[in-house]
């Protein structure tokens, strides 16, 4: 990938897409950074310069940019380009605590971790790790690792615990800590070897993604899927297919670190911005409604076999999260897991609080059944019924969007990009908020009383 360079006087012609930008002086690259919106991030350097910016901006003659499909790709590309060009001001600003690296240990069940330093004592990890980096943005890196962990489960604990932790129960870790358990002894060596190989493959693929080799990873996975199908190992083929779909979904994730944007960027995406007006217009077309949409609430439930079930409500005002209106619910119904009943309980309890205000649109995590249950609850409350709240639901497996009043779902990927991003951001934020509360309740249960 090569930068497209423009004169400093032509900042307005920079792309508004996510990507990487560079400041150059007479053929020498001075600084490289990443952005959710390249144009706004670069403008912020000049309009609200920091002390560090003032050291550099007078030398800048040209500004270059490379567009990426997502912010995850921008994060990875930034790391690779800094390593390649070693820009003067990236290095000047660096100290031992600023840059981040991702390490992988050479073990049967490799461990993935992030660190500031690549020279660690051998006694600490027993084996010399391999590193990928440097990454400038620690928060975005950690968030990216969490997201990639959904596709490629890996071990992160330094010392193996005596029992499996929550990461295993969430399907995010192969749990080598269970190797000595009675269950593993019953499974047999062949199965343990299979789990071990899968764990190592997951880690290799994750590291390749962080090195910017996503196409190679996808190509290899598709080849594995075809080979599994040829020998009629359909269970393996289906698992790989789901992994491919999940990886493509993750790579297109466009809201990893927009909370790191500058004040200028937040003003740009303020309630009266053009961005929200365009999004609202597209949303109204899809829902076939004429009323104004400004407040959207998204709901999710989280539980493990019905234990410590929790519900979440997150609120977006004109496209932006407003945590003043976030709410969480400890599910009261007992018995076997029942996502539909849980959603009904959460909505019923929420609608008792009219002092919170009412949304124009509700997004439910689930399929047609969850949508119908939500519509039923809204119709039972006079205030909600009179407010004519629209309801949609998003099914995880194929990212199908179900809309109230429509028989057939719509594939989310077929919708305009701004709607695709908004719906996924709402769903993911509701899920994050629900599972955070669920973990908190689970942790309390583990503490001896």
Residue 158 inside a domain? The answer is: yes
Residue 253 inside a domain? The answer is: no
Same domain, 411 and 296: yes
Same domain, 289 and 174: no
Residue 289 inside a domain? The answer is: yes
**What's the pLDDT tens digit per position in 333-380?**
766 668 888 899 999 999 988 888 899 999 998 889 999 999 999 998
- What is the rounded average pLDDT of the residues 175-186? 63
Higher pLDDT: 436 or 223? It is 223
**What's the pLDDT tens digit per position in 154-173?**
888 877 777 777 777 677 88
Same domain, 299 and 402: yes
User: Of the ranges 61-70, 228-237, 279-288, 304-313, which one carries the lowest mean pLDDT score?
Assistant: 304-313
Total domains, the chain: 3
Residue 196 inside a domain? The answer is: yes
Residue 377's pLDDT is 92
Q: How confident is the model at residue 187 (pLDDT cuts 50, 70, 90)?
A: low
Of 139-143, 235-239, 261-265, 327-331, the range with the highest mean pLDDT is: 327-331
The secondary structure of the chain, three-state, reads CCCEEEEHHHHHHCCCCCEEEEEEECCEEEEEEEECCHHHHHHHHHHCCCHHHHHHHHHCCEEEEEECCCHHHHHHHHHHHHHHHCCHHHHHCCCCCCCEEEEECCCCCCEEEEECCCCCCHHHHCCCCEEEEEECCHHHHHHHHHHHHHHCCCECCCCCCCCCCHHHHCCCCCCHHHCCCHHHHHHCHHHHHHHHHHHHHHHHHHHHHHCCCHHHHHHHHHHHHHHHHHCCCHHHHHHHHHHHHHHHHHHCCCCCCHHHCCHHHHHHCCCCCHHHHHHHHHHHHHHCCCCCCCEEEEEEEEEECCEEEEEEEEEEECCEECHHHCEEEECCCCCCCCHHHHHHHHHHHHCCCHHHCCCCEEEEECCHHHHHHHHHHHHCCHHHHHCCCEEEEEECCCCEEEECCCCCCEEHHHCCHHHHHHHHHHHHHHHHHHHHHHHHHHHHHHCCC
Same domain, 295 and 427: yes
Domain with 170 in it:
100-212
Same domain, 317 and 438: yes
CATH code assigned at 397: 3.30.420.340
Q: Which of 159, 193, 212 is the last residue of a domain?
A: 212
Same domain, 152 and 297: no
Same domain, 172 and 280: no
Q: Tell whether pTM > 0.75.
A: no
Residue 227 inside a domain? The answer is: no
Residue 231 inside a domain? The answer is: no
Task: Please determine, for residue 96, whether its predicted confidence score (pLDDT) is greater than 70.
Answer: no
Residue 55 inside a domain? The answer is: yes
Same domain, 285 and 408: yes
Q: Which of 169, 193, 212 is the last residue of a domain?
A: 212
**What's the pLDDT tens digit per position in 238-247?**
777 877 777 7
Same domain, 83 and 104: no
CATH code assigned at 49: 3.40.1440.10
Task: Please determine, for residue 97, whether its predicted confidence score (pLDDT) is greater than 70.
Answer: no
Q: Which of 47, 70, 92 is the last residue of a domain?
A: 92
**What's the pLDDT tens digit per position in 137-153?**
777 777 778 878 878 88
Q: How confident is the model at residue 1 (pLDDT cuts 50, 70, 90)?
A: low
Same domain, 163 and 302: no
Same domain, 406 and 375: yes
Residue 258 inside a domain? The answer is: no
User: Of the ranges 101-115, 173-187, 218-232, 309-323, which one carries the lowest mean pLDDT score?
Assistant: 173-187
Residue 295's pLDDT is 94
Same domain, 199 and 130: yes
Residue 445's pLDDT is 47
Higher pLDDT: 96 or 437? It is 437
């Amino acid at each position: 990938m090569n930068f497209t360079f423009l004169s400093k006087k032509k900042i307005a012609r920079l792309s508004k897409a996510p990507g990487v930008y560079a400041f150059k002086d007479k053929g020498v690259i001075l600084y490289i950074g990443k952005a959710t919106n390249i144009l706004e991030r670069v403008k912020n350097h000049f309009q609200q310069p920091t002390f560090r910016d003032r050291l550099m901006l007078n030398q800048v003659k040209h500004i270059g940019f490379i567009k990426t499909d997502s912010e995850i790709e921008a994060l990875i590309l930034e790391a690779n380009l800094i390593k390649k060009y070693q820009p003067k001001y990236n290095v000047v600003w660096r100290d031992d605590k600023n840059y981040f690296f991702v390490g992988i240990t050479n073990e049967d069940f490799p461990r993935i971790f992030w660190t500031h330093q690549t020279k660690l004592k051998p006694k600490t990890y027993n084996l010399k790790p391999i590193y990928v980096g440097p990454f400038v943005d620690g928060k975005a890196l950690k968030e990216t690792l969490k997201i990639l962990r959904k596709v490629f489960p890996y071990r992160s604990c330094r010392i193996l615990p005596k029992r499996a932790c929550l990461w295993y129960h969430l399907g995010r870790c192969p749990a080598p800590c269970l190797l000595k358990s009675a269950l593993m002894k019953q499974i047999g060596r062949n199965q343990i070897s299979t789990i071990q190989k899968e764990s190592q493959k997951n880690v290799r693929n994750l590291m390749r993604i962080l090195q910017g080799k996503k196409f190679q990873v996808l190509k290899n996975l598709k080849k594995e899927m075809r080979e599994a199908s040829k020998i009629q190992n359909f269970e393996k083929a289906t698992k790989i297919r789901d992994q491919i779909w999940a990886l493509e979904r993750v790579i297109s994730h466009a809201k990893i670190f927009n909370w790191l944007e500058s004040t200028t960027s937040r003003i740009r995406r303020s309630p009266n911005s053009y961005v929200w007006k365009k999004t609202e217009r597209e949303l109204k077309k899809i829902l076939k409604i004429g009323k104004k949409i400004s407040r959207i609430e998204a709901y999710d439930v989280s539980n493990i076999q019905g234990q410590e079930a929790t519900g979440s409500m997150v609120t977006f005002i004109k496209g932006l999260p407003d945590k003043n209106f976030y709410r969480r619910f400890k599910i009261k119904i007992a018995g076997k897991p029942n996502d539909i009943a849980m959603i009904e309980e959460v909505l019923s309890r929420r609608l008792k609080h009219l002092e919170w205000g009412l949304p124009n649109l509700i997004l439910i995590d689930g399929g047609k059944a969850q949508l119908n249950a939500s519509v039923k609850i809204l119709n039972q409350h006079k205030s909600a019924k009179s407010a004519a709240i629209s309801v949609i639901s998003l099914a995880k497996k194929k990212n199908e969007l179900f809309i109230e009043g429509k028989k057939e779902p719509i594939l989310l990927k077929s919708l305009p990009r701004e709607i695709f991003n908004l719906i996924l951001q709402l769903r993911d934020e509701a899920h994050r908020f629900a599972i955070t509360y669920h973990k908190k309740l689970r942790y309390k249960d583990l503490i001896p009383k």
